[in-house]
Structure 1
Amino acid sequence: MTAPTHQPPTAPPTAAGATRASTTPDPAGASTGELIGRLTEQLTRLVRDEARLAQAEVAQKAKKLGIGAGLFGGAGLTAFFGLAVLISAAVLGLAAVLPAWLAALVVAVVLFAVAGVLALVGRKDVAQGSPPLPTQAIAGVQADVATVRQGLSR
């Protein structure tokens, strides 16, 4: 009759799906080669488990990020429609005092004026941001290089 082989118990998987190292036989009786072999095996298992855990975490965060971005998009679209309704309300409010066509024309002129001011301010900001190079950082590096060259030439 053969004796059953002893398998050390393993820890149950954690919530993230990674497992922890199980209890090992007493290392006092193991040779150096066996200990190094166990160490290599345990380190490999640890790195793989940590990589799986990191992958699962990134996937979960990416899913939440996608859902959040979709919700922000829906909020933006709803706000756009709300603004359109407010503009319609402004036209209808002015239509109580002016003819409807004139009320719509006044609101359109005001909207075009606001759009023009926003375009001018935006154009100024774009001009200040062009070219999209880190000019201050480049100047700093050039000054550093010049200082080093000057120091080497002494």
Structure 2
Amino acid sequence: MSSIPPGPAERGQDPSVGELLSVVTSDVQTLFRQEVELAKAEVRQEAAKAGKAAGMYGGAGFGGYMVLLFLSLAAVLGLANVMDGGWAALIVAAVWAVVAAVLYQRGRTRMRTVSPKPEQTVESLKEDAEWARHPTK
């Protein structure tokens, strides 16, 4: 036998306001916990996407750096055949300054597309709040 006293349904009675409030409070707590878990999952998912993208950028950057280092040295040596070596190095450096500025701007634009806010959770919480204000709709 269970030591839990029978609830109003088992006794053939309607539940009291206190019992209904207890059930609603429990459901709201469960809903809130689920919303928090959804937010955590969304944040983890966005962080994982950003981390993978950053790792790929890093690997590509290093490989590109090595290629460009040697191409730059070749360009300086090639230009040094027709002009002073100092001017040749300055021209190559200026070209790289322009390339760096363009890449910085494009990277900054792409980073702005990463969403740190859990969009689905925010929308779901708005719907929950609307339902709580008008539960009969």
Using the size of structure 1 for normalisation, the TM-score is 0.45
More helix by share: 2
**Higher relative contact order by CA 8 Å / sep ≥ 6: 1 or 2?**
2
Using the size of structure 2 for normalisation, the TM-score is 0.49
